[in-house]
């Protein structure tokens, strides 16, 4: 589609997307096909978390000041909520990032 320019990319958690979709549904009264499929996906894969809890969790992980850990990594951690070290390490398999085990332990302490 010519003429479209991406100004900024902001990673959102599944809970944040669910909230945005609810706002769109309230505004438009009806969702299109893709939005309905997205809503079904979100209801299947999001844990029953509140937006305040997710925002607090993201903030706590940011406050750990782990080098090279970006917003998109934090969002992935919050979405998946791994319960052990192996689950957390799997999130970074395809990434070009190395995080020390002590930093991974800090992340696990925050999310468990």
For the segment 24-82, what is each residue's pLDDT rounded down to a tens digit? 999 998 899 999 999 999 988 887 678 899 999 999 999 999 999 999 999 999 999 99
- Asked if 42 and 20 touch (Cβ cutoff 8 Å), the reply is no
* Model pTM score: 0.85
d(C-alpha 27, C-alpha 97), whole Å = 40
Quick one: pLDDT at residue 1? 56
> Does residue 18 have a pLDDT over 80?
yes
Alpha-carbon torsion (67, 70, 76, 81), positive or negative: positive
- Asked if 106 and 88 touch (Cβ cutoff 8 Å), the reply is no
- Asked if 48 and 61 touch (Cβ cutoff 8 Å), the reply is no
Mind listing the pLDDT tens digit for each residue in 86-109?
Answer: 999 999 998 898 899 999 999 999
Element holding 3 (H helix, E strand): none
């Amino acid at each position: 589609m010519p003429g479209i320019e991406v100004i900024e990319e902001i990673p959102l958690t599944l809970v944040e997307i669910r909230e945005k979709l609810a706002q769109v549904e309230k505004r438009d009264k009806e969702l299109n096909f893709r939005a309905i499929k997205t809503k079904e996906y979100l209801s299947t894969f999001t844990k029953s978390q509140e937006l305040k809890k997710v925002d607090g969790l993201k903030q706590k992980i940011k406050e750990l000041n782990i080098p090279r850990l970006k917003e998109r990594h934090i969002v992935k951690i919050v979405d998946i909520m791994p319960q052990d070290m192996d689950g957390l390490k799997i999130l970074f398999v395809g990434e070009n990032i190395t995080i020390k085990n002590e930093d991974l332990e800090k992340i696990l302490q925050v999310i468990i």
